[in-house]
Amino acid sequence: MKTLAAICIVKNEEKHIKCALNSVKGLANEIIVVDSGSTDNTLNIAKQFTDKIYTNSWPGYGPQKNFAVSKTNCDFVLQIDADEEVTPDLAKEIKSILSQPKFDYYWLGIVTEFIGRPLKHLSGNNLRLFNRSAAQWDDKKIHEQVIKKENGYPVKYSSVDSGKLSSKLLHHSHYQTLTDYKKRQEKYTSADAEEMLKTGKDRIGKDVKVQSKNIFSVWFFLYERALKQFIKKLFLHKGLLDGWQGWLWCFLSAQYEYKMCKKYLKLKNNNAK
């Protein structure tokens, strides 16, 4: 049986962290919590589940998760956010995998709750379970990816050397009201825009191509991406089957693309002055 470390990076998560850590208590050999400056009761709650609690100034998502991994010698790592929950079925499936792993990388389906409804059709897939000796996160501050240590390449969902778990990870999320979502949307679109300006690539790794002085190019950049996102989420990902919350999520996902691109253009224009 391979050993497992569950890692959780946190800041001011007193409302959620108990559920998250409790869900991995009987699954993980170690629970690693890395805090970046909580001022609430987060750390006191975490101490009920583990003594492996570390403080590290916020360097971005990728570096912070790698810092957490550096604190364990377990064979496999399971990354869980403070507002997520490993269900009993998922825990059972992970235990089965650890008894005789076939892969170094495993993708988990994630079901997000949005304004009281689990978006089962809009569930995403994320690489959350991997062999510590085979992978790590890249150094992106946002939208970090798991990369192979042997060559630095991201692990693709379609890759034949990774497994897919059938049980889902529950994301209770901060998105229980539209106001909650809007606050986080503003934060993340700003971070995305800054990263786009810095790297010249968008959050899925494609080159950013827009001519700031060409009205048609700017219009296409802003609206084409948003429209594609809405159609993809609504039809390809079947968001239309997740009730009015699903339709709203699809619209907000499109709005996210628009705001991110608009902020990028503003940053680019300010830098050109």
Tens digit of each residue's pLDDT (9 = 90 or more) over 27-62:
999 999 999 999 999 999 999 999 999 999 999 999
How confident is the model at residue 263, as a pLDDT?
97
Question: Hey, what are 270's tokens?
Answer: 């300010």
Q: Percent of the chain at pLDDT above 70?
A: 99
Q: Phi-psi region for residue 3, left (φ > 0), alpha (ψ -120 to 50) or beta?
A: beta
How confident is the model at residue 89, as a pLDDT?
97
Going by pLDDT thresholds of 50, 70 and 90, the confidence category of residue 176 is: confident
Q: Looking at domain 4-171, what is its CATH homologous superfamily?
A: Spore Coat Polysaccharide Biosynthesis Protein SpsA; Chain A (3.90.550.10)
Average pLDDT, the chain: 94
How confident is the model at residue 174, as a pLDDT?
67
User: What mean pLDDT is predicted for residues 182-207?
Assistant: 90
How confident is the model at residue 30, as a pLDDT?
98
How confident is the model at residue 273, as a pLDDT?
65
Tens digit of each residue's pLDDT (9 = 90 or more) over 235-252:
999 999 999 999 999 999
What one-character DSSP code corresponds to residue 251?
H
User: What mean pLDDT is predicted for residues 206-219?
Assistant: 89
Tens digit of each residue's pLDDT (9 = 90 or more) over 64-98:
999 999 999 999 999 999 999 999 999 999 999 99
Q: Which residue type sits at 268? A: K
Residue 168 β-bridge partners: 109
Dihedral, CA of residue 180, residue 183, residue 187 and residue 189, to nearest 10:
90
Q: Phi-psi region for residue 116, left (φ > 0), alpha (ψ -120 to 50) or beta?
A: left
Residues 6+ apart with CB under 8 A from 183: none
Tens digit of each residue's pLDDT (9 = 90 or more) over 127-175:
999 999 999 999 988 889 999 999 999 999 988 999 999 999 999 876 7
For the chain, where do the domains classified as CATH 3.90.550.10 start and end? Answer: 4-171
How confident is the model at residue 114, as a pLDDT?
92
**Of 39-43, 44-48, 198-202, 210-214, minimum mean pLDDT range:** 210-214
Query: What span, in angstroms and rounded, lies between the C-alpha atoms of 49 and 47?
Result: 5
List the one residue out of 109, 75, 86 whose CA is nearest residue 8. Answer: 86
Residues 6+ apart with CB under 8 A from 102: 163
User: Concatenated DSSP letters for 18-34?
Assistant: HHHHHHHTTT-SEEEEE
Q: 């100034």: which residue's tokens? A: 57
How confident is the model at residue 271, as a pLDDT?
85
List the one residue out of 80, 128, 131 whose CA is nearest residue 102. Answer: 131
Query: What span, in angstroms and rounded, lies between the C-alpha atoms of 148 and 120?
Result: 30
The Cα-based distances of 160 to 99, 148, 163, 170, 204 in angstroms read 20, 14, 8, 26, 20
23 in Cβ contact with 48 (< 8 Å): no
